[in-house]
Amino acid sequence: MNEAASSAAALRVEVHLPLPQFQLRCSFQARPEVVVLFGPSGAGKTSVLDCIAGFRKPASGHILLGERVLFSSGQGVNLPVRQRRVGYLSQQPALFPHLSVRSNVGYGLLDLPRSERDARVDSILERFRIAPLAASRPPAISGGEQQRVALARTLVCEPELLLLDEPLSALDVTLKSLLLDAIFDWQRERAVPMLYVTHDQAEAYSLSRRVLVMESGSVVADGEPHQVFTAPFRREQAVLSGYENLFDAVIQETHPVLGTMTCRLAGSGLLLESPLANKAVGETASLALRAGDILVATTRPSGISARNLLSGRIHLIEDRDGMVAMSVLCPAGDDPAGHAPAGEGQTDFRVHITRGALQNLDLQIGQPVWLIIKTHSIQFLRN
């Protein structure tokens, strides 16, 4: 094994930094693995990377890479960027425009003897298939080629940690998957921690088994993609992850034997059967429901396993590209599960169906419909 692999070590981060919009308060660890930092724009993802790379100084906290202290407010350590051995790649290749591709890639190795530097540069140029460009200057090559050069320039230095800030978002799909493969191969060989920032959920799913969800400067969820994306933790993140229906509710009954609870929605008093959660009767809860998880029927269905059948009226039909978004107003009172009708007002359900379904059922605004909601498609939000 090479020296980098043997010295590869875990990253431990705990930083606090007041920013204009929020307090960055972020704490996590990463073994030599790929970790996706996911969150909306302005959640503080890039600020975290900047702290780790050394471009920004946290107000307090510590950043450790294995045994090395990169930053520690307690010990008064703030290692300069150049001594951190942290590779950083963003959407901008930031190549040196006046140097050839070869000189760009060799820049981080200037302290090595000429022969060793040349050998390492040659090998990485081959590996990233940019050897034919070696004599070109960055302005003369394409954006995808520039990003490959930037990647080679970063990796040739054998960084002990790799920070990638949406590095491929400007590239087309084919090129992107090619470069991703190259990055992941390298990460597996060197076994160093790698943080990959993205705000694209599909990308987060495909990239890593571990996703850290950031929101307003804090890590609000940490786990496998299907865990953090199917069990939303906070309202903002639920909206971001495609939960169009968010309701406040009060727990009316719990049915531990059935594994369900009855929740009364605030406003309308409509009752919904939800999965059993760690909540007591009378407690408030926030529920989330994907618009695509709701079924629509024009007549009252029977012999169906779903526990929630709601009658309502179509209030709005919007054709968006490729699918139809509907708004259905459901009053309290029709209660197939047999609960006592209660409350007043109506609840507005956002429902997504296909264009085909719209045509088949010949749905019109004002038409009465039935909504069918499976118990387990209802998720609880952490307050």
Interface residues with other proteins (CB under 8 A)? 53-55, 80-88, 90, 92, 94-98, 107-108, 110-111, 137, 139, 150, 153-154, 157
DSSP annotation of 75 reads T
Determine contact, residues 229/220, Cβ cutoff 8 Å: no
Cβ proximity to other proteins: between 149 and 288 the closer is 149
- What is the closest distance, in whole angstroms, from the C-beta atom of residue 215 to other proteins in the complex? 26
Burial class (CB in 10 A: 0-12, 13-18, 19+), 174: exposed
- What is the closest distance, in whole angstroms, from the C-beta atom of residue 382 to other proteins in the complex? 37
Cβ proximity to other proteins: between 57 and 209 the closer is 57
> Hunting for tokens 């045994």 — which residue is that?
67
Closest CA to 334 of 259, 268, 379: 268
- What is the closest distance, in whole angstroms, from the C-beta atom of residue 8 to other proteins in the complex? 18
Q: Which two tokens stand for residue 100?
A: 């050839």
- What is the closest distance, in whole angstroms, from the C-beta atom of residue 107 to other proteins in the complex? 5
Determine contact, residues 285/263, Cβ cutoff 8 Å: yes
- What is the closest distance, in whole angstroms, from the C-beta atom of residue 90 to other proteins in the complex? 7
- What is the closest distance, in whole angstroms, from the C-beta atom of residue 369 to other proteins in the complex? 54
- What is the closest distance, in whole angstroms, from the C-beta atom of residue 100 to other proteins in the complex? 12
Distance CA 268, CA 187 (A): 53
Distance CA 142, CA 298 (A): 55
Distance CA 236, CA 22 (A): 15
Cβ proximity to other proteins: between 194 and 295 the closer is 194
> Hunting for tokens 């981080």 — which residue is that?
108
Q: Which two tokens stand for residue 41?
A: 């724009």
- What is the closest distance, in whole angstroms, from the C-beta atom of residue 260 to other proteins in the complex? 53
Residues 6 or more apart whose CB falls under 8 angstroms from that of 126 comprise: none
- What is the closest distance, in whole angstroms, from the C-beta atom of residue 286 to other proteins in the complex? 41
> Hunting for tokens 């379904």 — which residue is that?
357
Distance CA 212, CA 41 (A): 14
Distance CA 53, CA 70 (A): 9
List C-alpha distances in Å: 187 to 35, 119, 191: 11, 21, 5
Cβ proximity to other proteins: between 101 and 332 the closer is 101
Distance CA 374, CA 261 (A): 13
Determine contact, residues 377/308, Cβ cutoff 8 Å: no
Cβ proximity to other proteins: between 150 and 310 the closer is 150
